[in-house]
Amino acid sequence: MSRDFVHESRPGRVVFAVGARTRLPEEIDRLGLRRLIVVSAPTHKDLVAELSDALGGRIAELHPHATMHVPVAVAERAVARARQVGADGCLAIGGGSAIGLAKAVAKDTALPIVALPTTYAGSEMTPIWGLTSDGRKTTGRDPLVLPSLVVYDPELTVTLPPRSSVTSGMNALAHAAEALYAPDGSPITALMAAESARSLAGALPRVHADPRDIGGRSEALYGAWLAGSVLGATTMSLHHKLCHILGGTFDMPHAGTHTVVLPHVLAFNLPAASQARSALKTALGATDPASHLFHLAQDLGAEMSLKALGMPDDGLETVVEQVLAAPYANPRPFTEADIRHIVGNAFSGAAPA
């Protein structure tokens, strides 16, 4: 078999260990940073206080104002504060909202990012930024927003509730699944994506059964790291397009939306992506990956209906219009009728077909 591919490795340092947060001061010193602006959601107040105490005088500002989908106004305020306090780096503590806000700061200021993830979102491993304005989410790629340092500590995910853990993990699994049929994938990204899917699918039932299972948490975070890495290295397809539209337009929960949509897009795409289908069958130990992921998430308590997550009854027309206005690369061409079928099933909570 002949091979034809391009693979580009991303810069950045990853520290992964149980208790890795204790290494944060020395790792920040290694980067030479002295005046950090710390961005987080208000819900991480206690963790931010703990880490800030350890970092001492390296903190210039605490900015606990991260919100879902990174509204432009929120990003502008964070950028302004970073400049006002003379920050030389941005420390993001939390999930995709905090890391997304740090990226918005870095995009406009070129400050290096240090990320301490507390979920399985994977954004910390990508050069992808996203901003929401007037009900529309805009995304782009810029090497400035790729974190210089990511510290993964599985203990920081222990307080993530079981249902949130499941949807966060399914969000990560979506990155891996779409990387398997990405037009710019490589043998390396394919290996990483398959290993990510295997790790996450095996870890989520453990985490759901016992949120304090540190082995399960480590395996899930490992899978999320791999998923984020392939998200940053490849072009995502229809699934991510739909989720960006749904989240940005209707302010729907990011991870929950990914969880609902993924099985339906896979049911549509995998018949046209034989290598991806084969890889997912092996990774998941399932003959029908789309159905398997739907029932896995459902059995673990995830909500599987877009309607229940907040999509309005008349929202389908808006979704169809936006998808068709700016098509993504996808292994299978899609029509308006296809989008209506995929989103309609996801809206009602029906099993993928």
Q: Give the pLDDT score at 88.
A: 98
pLDDT digit string (tens) for the chain, length 353 residues:
567 777 777 778 999 999 999 999 999 999 999 999 999 999 998 999 999 999 989 999 999 999 988 999 999 999 999 999 999 999 999 999 999 999 999 999 999 999 999 999 899 999 999 999 988 888 899 999 999 999 999 999 999 999 999 999 999 999 999 999 999 999 999 999 999 999 999 999 999 999 999 999 999 999 999 999 999 999 999 999 999 999 989 999 999 999 999 999 999 999 999 999 999 999 999 999 999 999 999 999 999 999 999 999 999 999 999 999 987 789 999 999 999 999 999 999 999 98
Q: Give the pLDDT score at 294.
A: 98
Q: Give the pLDDT score at 5.
A: 76
Q: Count CB neighbours of 303 within 10 A.
A: 17
Phi, psi of 112 (to 5 degrees): -70, 145
Residue type at position 293:
L
3-state secondary structure at position 313:
coil
3-state secondary structure at position 67:
coil
Q: At what angle do helices 214-233 and 162-179 cross, to 10 degrees?
A: 40
Q: For residue 293, give both structure tokens.
A: 């992921």
Query: Going by C-beta distance under 8 Å and a sequence separation of 6 or more, which residues neighbour residue 282?
Result: 194
Domain boundaries, given as residue ranges, for the chain:
13-157, 162-348
Q: What's the CA angle centered on 56, arms 102 and 108, to 5 degrees?
A: 20
Q: Give the pLDDT score at 2.
A: 60
Q: Count CB neighbours of 332 within 10 A.
A: 15
CA atoms within 13 A on the CB side of 90: 35
Exposed/middle/buried for residue 213 (C-beta within 10 Å: 0-12, 13-18, 19+): middle
d(CA 286, CA 315): 33
| Partner residues linked to 132 by β-bridges | 71, 137
DSSP secondary structure code for residue 144 in this structure: G
Q: Give the pLDDT score at 1.
A: 53
Instruction: For the chain, state the CA radius of gyration.
Output: 19
- Edge-to-edge strands, sheet with 89-94: 13-16, 149-152, 113-117, 89-94, 36-40, 59-63
What percentage of the chain's residues is helix, strand, coil (to nearest 5)? 60, 10, 30
d(CA 46, CA 26): 21
Q: Give the pLDDT score at 9.
A: 73
For the segment(s) 13-157, the CATH number from 3.40.920.10, 3.40.190.10, 3.40.30.10, 3.40.50.1970 is 3.40.50.1970
Phi, psi of 141 (to 5 degrees): -120, 135
Q: What fold characterizes domain 162-348?
A: Dehydroquinate synthase-like, alpha domain (1.20.1090)
Exposed/middle/buried for residue 306 (C-beta within 10 Å: 0-12, 13-18, 19+): buried
Q: Give the pLDDT score at 17.
A: 96
Beta-strand relationship, 136-141 and 128-133: antiparallel
Q: For residue 350, give both structure tokens.
A: 């029906």
Q: Give the pLDDT score at 4.
A: 79
